[in-house]
Amino acid sequence: MTFRNSMNRFFLSAALGLVSINAATLAADEKPTQEERLQKLLERFPKADANGDGVLTAEEAKAFRAQQPKKPAKGKTAEKPADAPMKGPQPTFENVSYGPHERNVLDVWQATSDKPTPIIVFIHGGGFVNGDKTKIRGNSSIQKALDQGISFASINYRFRAHAPVQDILRDSARAIQCIRSKAKEWNIDSTKVAAYGGSAGAGTSLWLAFHDDLANPKSDDPVLRESSRLSAVGALNTQASYDLRDWEQIVGKSPVDRSQLESLMFYGFKSAEDLNKPEADAIMKDVSMINLISEGDAPVALFTAQPNTEPKDRGHYVHHPRHAIAIAERAKEKGIDTLLILHDDAKNAKSGESQVVDFLIKKLKGESSPAAKPKAPEVPKDVKASAEK
């Protein structure tokens, strides 16, 4: 057992012990909330977030701790564990490239069927700075979909170190278009494509569902000729908008000040003056999921694991239920079939995710799919992603 593994296990034991401490043993002014303790744990051990939704539950933390190598008995040397295959069904197609960047890859699990199948696409979370498509491996959602005759996919995309958020979102759009371009080869029904994810993956899924179709029938790239639209969408611990100007109105004042530099980097702007330019305004409006919602958009299911209280910290603020509530209210106003599962409505995070996946399966197995919006007006050049250039 390495020193690092030993220290990791010690830290996990200490952190998980804190989660179970009786509140009465802590002074009121020193007592961190369970969410705060789990957030700290997530920052140190991002792999503990088993479903990749950007929120670490107590169940995920305990499961991660149980997977850590145990300290050998005194006087004995730990055996090096053999490389074990990932849990769950293995992908039919793995690391399929859908774009030019090394992170533009996806995995596909093909359902057994003599006719084209619907497909659910998982988009991992991680704040657009980390995460991986393999987060979904071993999750029961894959087998659940396959058992229902629905194929499954999981994608990677560029991080903020590689591209601004408006381009990252279009990575996922291109992944959807790539899957459609291979519909015949992979036995996919291109009219029945759903997507869901957690945190950044949730917001991305909503953006795909509510944004006008990015298909360009005249493109020299056959992938970009395909539709980017969804038939159904799910969001776990989502954000309502990536136009950061919307957040205070939706959630309230942030408990942690966001630096202007962070906002500039989020969109790839070079200076504070850029924020006031018409091009910047167009970019930010184009990534506001809540303001893109219109009649005829895909049915939507939302789950939030956070309590609907005043925001306590950054993690709570970013994943606050008010994001999901705002999306649900706007979607219902537009006549969109909407399922909202709040913190107190589900037994735990896994139950909430299961309900979201059940919703997607139900919609995909239905006879009708929502019609795509008319093609959007020409988008300003600064809004277009590198994939479209």
If you count them, how many residues does the chain have?
A: 389
The yes-or-no verdict on residue 369 having pLDDT over 50 is no
- What does the mean pLDDT of the chain come to? 83
Choose the CATH number for 93-388 among 3.10.580.10, 3.40.50.2000, 3.40.1010.10, 3.40.50.1820.
3.40.50.1820
pLDDT in tens, 98-113: 999 999 999 999 999 9
Separation of alpha carbons 373 and 197, rounded Å? 23
pLDDT in tens, 46-59: 667 765 556 676 76
Positions of CATH 3.40.50.1820 in the chain: 93-388
- pLDDT tier for residue 374 given thresholds of 50, 70 and 90: very low
Task: Calculate the CA 107 to chain-centre distance.
Answer: 16
pLDDT in tens, 193-226: 999 999 999 999 999 999 999 999 999 999 999 9
Residue 322 or 7, more confident: 322
DSSP string, 183-212: HHHHTEEEEEEEEEEETHHHHHHHHHHHSP
Separation of alpha carbons 54 and 50, rounded Å? 9
- Which pair of structure tokens corresponds to residue 214? 């990015």
Residue 135 or 13, more confident: 135
Could you tell me what percent of the chain has a pLDDT over 90? Answer: 66
CB distance 122 to 145 below 8 Å:
no
Residue 43 or 169, more confident: 169
Residue 39 or 277, more confident: 277
CB distance 328 to 340 below 8 Å:
yes
- Average pLDDT for 263-292: 95
The yes-or-no verdict on residue 12 having pLDDT over 60 is no
The yes-or-no verdict on residue 120 having pLDDT over 60 is yes
Number of other residues whose CB lies within 10 A of the CB of residue 270: 8
- pLDDT tier for residue 67 given thresholds of 50, 70 and 90: low
What does pTM read for this prediction?
0.78
- Average pLDDT for 231-239: 98
pLDDT confidence of residue 331? 98
- Average pLDDT for 140-147: 97
pLDDT confidence of residue 50? 64
Sign of CA dihedral 154, 160, 161, 167: positive
Number of other residues whose CB lies within 10 A of the CB of residue 77: 8
Q: With H, G, I as helix, E, B as strand and everything else as coil, classify residue 257.
A: coil
- Average pLDDT for 354-382: 68
pLDDT confidence of residue 52? 59
pLDDT in tens, 302-360: 999 999 999 999 999 999 999 999 999 999 999 999 999 998 777 676 789 999 999 99
Tokens 């069904």 identify what position? 89
Lowest-confidence segment of 40-44, 175-179, 294-298 by average pLDDT? 40-44
- pLDDT tier for residue 34 given thresholds of 50, 70 and 90: low
pLDDT confidence of residue 71? 54
